[in-house]
Amino acid sequence: MTLGPSHRALLVALSAWCAACDEADVVDCGLGVRQEAGGETYCVYAPGSGEPRDVTCPRAAPVRIDVGDTVICTTDRNAASPGDVPPDVCAGCGGDAGAPCPGGRTRCGDTCTDPATDPLHCGGCGIACVENERCAGGACVCDGAFTTCGPSCVDLSRTRGSCGACGIVCEAGFECCDGECVDVRSDASSCGACGEACELNQICVAAACWEGNDECLDARNLPVRPGAASYDPIAGLRQSSLDGCTAASDVFYAVTLEMPELVQLEASTDHGLDLQVARLDGPCGTTAAICTRGPCAGTGTTLTEALPAGRHLFVVEGGDEVTLRHLAVPEGVIVGTLVPPASFSVDASTDAAADVAGSCDAGADVGWALATCPSFPGGTLTVTTCGAVAPTIPARLSVLSADGVATCGFTDMRCPMGSNVTVDLPAGAGLYAVLAELPAGASGVVVVNGTFD
């Protein structure tokens, strides 16, 4: 049979249609996820892969089935409802699990997510990172400037329990400011809180900024240097308006300590006046200021205290000259002040022991401040750990003076683990530390007895 032009055109059209049928086995799903099941091809268009409701099914998979927000296009011309979709194509399609997520993402409830970076589903659904953590590589890690300390991520520049390094705890009254423990009760650069600086000429007292004492009290700075240092009076004595102080003319002094110090301030006069030396715990001109009398009386008086690092203010009432003596001692070591000529018996727990620079041994020390008054005639001091209570731990005694001279004790063979020390004290005011030096790891109570001859 001879084919005419119309017959040839029909064959070409049939060939094209058959070719299209052959292409149905290779379906291009575009933005959808292509899956095979039961010999049929399925294109799944889930939320996040485009606009599912605007999906036009490809010609090779023309049958459209809508399941909630998900569109499924399939080559199965007999499919008419979600029930005709194999469960392994869309697990729980139309239920809680939702449709498969595109691009290798994971479905967690109604959300398609990447468990490698999602902090709410890090490494798996429902695994949430905590505060200061981020999700990286499917694991929760500390974020940015935060550091792992135990189970938590902390900012070492601001965390009181890990300040500057894990486990470094700031004491009560101190805050962690830029990785250092700062006493916000008295630090003018961080007064009350980190970074809250007082203005120029202001001081920080009780975590609040006050007008500077250098201006309102004409306070004279006393440089702290080893040993004794005398200072002449200044002109323009002022009348005190501080609550609790006398009405005598006053001279005000300021001392700035860079470390804990045992300080003795001695005042003297040629006028026979009754002197008072006081330390100010509050700002000038307010009732918060407290006056504390020194232990000595007469034409010369002293004030002896173990002071922490920081700025301290003193007032000498009716005096002409002051002498400053000091010893650098660890805070908490000096536990009391002894004033001769009375004999004494003191005890202290060794729990707070720390090494005192300049003492006889390198071991930890407990100690007592020993201050003599300007009227002290001089004499011999004998100190011993032997007495009514025998020592239970060995403790070598020593006496350290403000000029840096240490007199070391010796072992008393008549008293097991006992020690004695004898030192001549000069007349007049003086500052000393009586120290009991302990072996490493010692614990208990040390009893020290002293007499003056």
Q: In total, how many domains does the chain have?
A: 3
According to DSSP, the β-strands at 106-108 and 70-74 are unpaired
Q: Tokens at residue 425, please?
A: 């004290």
Residue 129 is assigned to a structural domain of this protein: no
Look up the CATH number of the domain holding residue 402: 2.60.120.380
Determine the structural domain holding residue 68 and report its residue range: 23-108
**CA 390, 419, 377 angle in degrees (round to 5)?**
110
Q: What's the confidence (pLDDT) of residue 294?
A: 63
Final residue before a domain boundary, out of 326, 354, 388: 326
Q: Do 298 and 223 belong together in one domain?
A: yes
Q: Do 315 and 224 belong together in one domain?
A: yes
d(CA 315, CA 224): 17
CB-based burial label for 2 (10 Å; 0-12, 13-18, 19+):
exposed
d(CA 356, CA 58): 88
417: amino acid identity, one letter: M
Q: Tokens at residue 138, please?
A: 């499917």
Determine contact, residues 100/77, Cβ cutoff 8 Å.
no
pTM score of the predicted model: 0.50
Q: Which residues pair with 304 in a beta bridge?
A: 264
Distance of CA 209 to the CA centre of its chain: 22
Q: What's the confidence (pLDDT) of residue 223?
A: 63
In the predicted model, what is the mean pLDDT of the chain? Answer: 74
Q: Do 336 and 322 belong together in one domain?
A: no
Using CA atoms, how far residue 286 sits from 186, 216, 312, 313, 331, in Å, is 17, 11, 16, 14, 28
Residue positions counted in the chain: 453
Q: What's the confidence (pLDDT) of residue 295?
A: 66
pLDDT in tens, 191-236: 999 999 987 767 676 787 765 544 455 566 676 654 445 555 444 4
> What does DSSP assign to residue 352?
G
Determine contact, residues 371/306, Cβ cutoff 8 Å.
no
Q: Do 383 and 293 belong together in one domain?
A: no
Q: What's the confidence (pLDDT) of residue 8?
A: 47
According to DSSP, the β-strands at 220-221 and 249-257 are parallel
Q: Do 367 and 431 belong together in one domain?
A: yes
Residues of the chain under the 70 pLDDT cut = 1-25, 47-53, 68, 87-88, 90-100, 102-104, 110, 201, 203, 205, 210-221, 223-251, 269-295, 297-300, 317-320, 331-332, 352, 388-391
Q: Do 315 and 222 belong together in one domain?
A: yes
Final residue before a domain boundary, out of 76, 108, 140: 108
Q: What's the confidence (pLDDT) of residue 423?
A: 93
* Residue 13, CB-side half-sphere exposure with 13 Å CA sphere: 6
Q: What's the confidence (pLDDT) of residue 241?
A: 43
Q: Which residues pair with 410 in a beta bridge?
A: 420
Residue 1 is assigned to a structural domain of this protein: no
d(CA 106, CA 108): 6
Q: What's the confidence (pLDDT) of residue 235?
A: 41
Final residue before a domain boundary, out of 263, 292, 326: 326
Determine contact, residues 153/132, Cβ cutoff 8 Å.
yes
Q: Tokens at residue 189, please?
A: 């650069």
Determine contact, residues 123/139, Cβ cutoff 8 Å.
yes
d(CA 181, CA 158): 9
Q: Do 294 and 358 belong together in one domain?
A: no
Q: What's the confidence (pLDDT) of residue 369?
A: 86
Q: Do 27 and 102 belong together in one domain?
A: yes
